[in-house]
């Protein structure tokens, strides 16, 4: 029987060779635990993220916009399911991770605790929030845990549609009437800084990054991804004729990147710790919907059990 040191050496060698760690492989308990933490919180973010956008489905300005938004919100629910399934391969049940979310023990992305006040927010979320998510999720396609990577590959295929439909909304508004352009600018003003917070604390303050990079769970750091997002997005804002709400934003030719202002970390931790504008209502809505959907889960489980029993009888 190999001892733990030998198992760790085999695990590290697998990572070194760039091979996936699969559910049946031996893995350090801490590797498993941090994957459960990150993947379940990622899934929670996808599902909670349905609420701010879902808020505008009945108020979309046209049938086309309504259909596109409906498709996007439905996609986010599906992304949550892929990720919950990936999480279950690590030996934790769906009920347990849902309970962690609803009790406040587990986090979800701070960005979804802000209100969606106008239709332009649908554009800003698609353009900025999904744009930031793409930056992070394209990197996570190379994560070392097989089921997580495969979920990311599938999710990334849908994210580009999410980002493009948001940017199209912003284009129409920014090129529209002065009132429409003002609505687009107001949305950019409210969503810009919370979007930068999505990438997490600064690398120097990140409690998990060093280990996540060592285990190739993360392939780039919070600050690297945030910088890539700013460099990619500022020219898009300029194309729209909108102003990024950061007086310190400035092209740095030496770094070939934008310098940008300081994030309000007090606001960030406040929202992460549950005191954002919508934290309470997001969880209340989730608990209510989960309760209302109990009969669906019970019916699906009963059907599956009946089918399994029938299959057993056939085999016997
Ligand atoms: N909101 C809430 N909590 C956050 C956060 C944020 N924006 N950023 C960091 N945190 C939390 C972390 O979860 C961690 O707390 P924990 O140890 O209790 O879990 C703590 O702050 C310290 O942060 P670290 O940087 O040390 O934590 P990580 O190494 O986990 O990095 C992360 C944070 C970059 C968000 C990483 O977890 C990650 O890449 N997660 C997967 C991607 C993800 O969850 N994206 C969220 C948005 S999904 C989305 O937008 C869907 C799209 O379709 C709209």
Tokens of 87: 């999480």
**Mind listing the pLDDT tens digit for each residue in 18-48?**
999 999 999 999 999 999 999 999 999 999 9
Render pLDDT for 243-256 as a digit per residue (tens, 0 to 9): 999 999 999 999 99
Dist. CA 200 → ligand 1 center (Å): 6
Question: What pLDDT does residue 186 have?
Answer: 98
203-226: average pLDDT: 97
For 208, counting Cβ atoms within 10 Å of its Cβ (0-12 exposed, 13-18 middle, 19+ buried), the class is middle
pLDDT for the residue 316? 74
Ligand 1 mean position to 87 CA, how many Å? 15
For the CA of 199, the closest atom of ligand 1 is 34
pLDDT category at 2 given cuts 50, 70, 90 is low
The answer to whether the CB of 247 falls within 8 A of the CB of 261 is yes
Average pLDDT for 158-164? 94
Gap from CA of 209 to ligand 1 centroid (Å): 10
Query: How far apart are the CA of 71 and the centre of ligand 1, in A?
Result: 25
From the CA of 133, give the closest atom in ligand 1: 50
Cβ(51) to ligand 1 under 6 A? no
- CA of 199 relative to ligand 1 center, distance in Å: 7
Name the maximum alpha-carbon separation found in the chain.
74
The stretch 260-279 carries a mean pLDDT of 98
Cα distances (angstroms) measured from residue 120 to each of 62, 164, 182, 191, 243: 14, 14, 10, 11, 15
**Tens-digit pLDDT profile for residues 57-100:** 999 999 999 999 999 999 999 999 999 999 999 999 999 999 99
Under the banding of pLDDT at 50, 70 and 90, the label for residue 314 is confident
CB 52 near ligand 1, within 6 Å: no
* 133 touches ligand 1 (CB under 6 Å): yes
């Amino acid at each position: 029987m190999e001892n733990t040191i030998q198992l760790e050496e085999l695990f590290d060698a697998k990572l070194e060779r760039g091979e996936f760690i699969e559910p049946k492989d031996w893995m350090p308990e801490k590797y498993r635990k941090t994957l459960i933490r990150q993947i379940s919180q990622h899934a929670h973010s996808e599902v909670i993220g349905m609420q701010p956008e879902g808020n505008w489905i009945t108020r979309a300005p046209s049938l086309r916009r309504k259909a596109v938004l409906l498709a996007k919100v439905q996609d986010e629910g599906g992304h949550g399911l892929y990720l919950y399934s990936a999480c279950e391969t690590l030996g934790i049940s769906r009920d347990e991770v849902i309970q962690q979310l609803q009790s406040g023990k587990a986090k979800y992305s701070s960005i979804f605790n802000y209100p969606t006040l106008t239709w332009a927010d649908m554009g800003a979320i698609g353009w900025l929030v999904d744009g930031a998510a793409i930056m992070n999720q394209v990197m996570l396609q190379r994560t070392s845990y097989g089921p997580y990577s495969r979920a990311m590959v599938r999710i990334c295929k849908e994210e580009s549609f999410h980002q493009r439909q948001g940017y199209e909304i912003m284009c129409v508004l920014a090129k529209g009437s002065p009132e429409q352009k003002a609505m687009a600018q107001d949305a950019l003003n409210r969503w810009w800084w919370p979007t930068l917070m999505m990438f997490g604390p600064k690398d120097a303050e990140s409690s998990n990054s060093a280990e996540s990079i060592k285990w190739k769970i993360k392939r780039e750091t919070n600050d690297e991804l945030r910088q890539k997002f700013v460099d990619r997005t500022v020219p898009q804002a300029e194309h729209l004729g909108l102003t990024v709400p950061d007086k310190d934003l400035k092209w740095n030719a030496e770094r070939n990147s934008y310098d940008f202002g300081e994030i309000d970390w007090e606001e960030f931790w406040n929202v992460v710790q549950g005191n954002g504008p919508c934290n309470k209502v997001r969880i209340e809505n989730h608990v209510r919907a989960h309760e209302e959907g109990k009969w669906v889960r019970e019916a699906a489980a009963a059907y599956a059990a009946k089918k399994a029993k029938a299959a057993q009888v056939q085999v016997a």
